[in-house]
Amino acid sequence: MTENPFLQEFLPYNENLIKAIDVTIQNGQDENKDTLYYLRGYYIFVNFLVDEKNVFNDMPEGFKVLLSKASLDLFAVYSTISSGCINQSLAIVRSLFESSVYLTYINRDFDKLLYLYQNHKDFLAYHKWNQDKELLNFTKAHEAAIAKKYESIKNNYKKRGPWYEYPLLEDMKNHDSYKDIKKKRATFKAMCVITGNEELYNRLYVTMSESVHGSSLTGSLFKNEKDHISMAPNFSPFYINTTAAFAIAFLHNMVTVGLKNQIDKGHTEYSSYLSYSEKYSNLLIDKGTKNKG
């Protein structure tokens, strides 16, 4: 036994808290086992489509990047709420919402807008290289390739603007919410308005952003049953069901866009996957919307 006074006090506390955390997490997972099961199951379903059935193999790289990111975001939501870290999961759901809105917007003119999304990385790479040439120390061949690609796409983007700057501004000109505004800005909020996601932006995205930036608005997530601030994991079924429902709804929307594009190209056999995706996701969406807390 150590003679250090601090360790004499801390080590027993450490051991007891580790045991308590393990019990709390196990009990929380047991209480929410159905939601966690279905949430993880949808992640596995998307992996089945991608890895086992090669459903999206002939889709453009940009789509596959968005879907892969969103699928891992869903698994990250599963991982965080499985540990009782609800507030932390909100930042990931926010990212899922962004990806879902991006793909919804891209689907308005799929090939054209996906090209802009996909090639924006080369536009950014050129400006990064141009800014940090000595630090990056690329080979002459690599530099030439970057410059060549940049020349073919440079007029599609604004240097400090998002990938959707020019097409979104054009869409805003004809939209009732923006056509009378002289100085228009291509913002993510504007994209939400254009795609019919304005209500979700105002009611959900803004709140999740407050959570990401450490607002006191989310303080209720850190209170225990005695209304005291607590660092203990939170396994509130209301918050877990609601968070899971939004996460799966956003990924389901992206899977739907991909499957419908493939079906339109002649892959009618994928219709059963679309039907299953809708039924599976509705299990959690219904659970989240009906939950009264």
Structure tokens at 196: 């019919």
Structure tokens at 279: 């039924």
Q: What is the pTM of this model?
A: 0.90
Give the C-alpha separation, 86 to 234, whole Å: 7
In Å, the largest CA–CA distance within the chain is: 76
Domain residues of the chain, as ranges?
31-290
Residue 293, pLDDT score = 43
Residue 180, pLDDT score = 84
Give the tens place of pLDDT for each residue, 43-54. 999 999 999 999
Give the tens place of pLDDT for each residue, 177-191. 998 888 899 999 999
271 has pLDDT over 60: yes
- Give start and end residues of each alpha helix (H) in the chain: 5-31, 33-47, 61-82, 86-106, 110-131, 133-136, 140-153, 165-173, 188-194, 198-200, 206-212, 237-264, 271-290
Structure tokens at 199: 């209500």
Residue 11, pLDDT score = 93
Reported confidence tier of residue 292, pLDDT bands at 50, 70, 90: very low
What is the average pLDDT score of the chain? 90
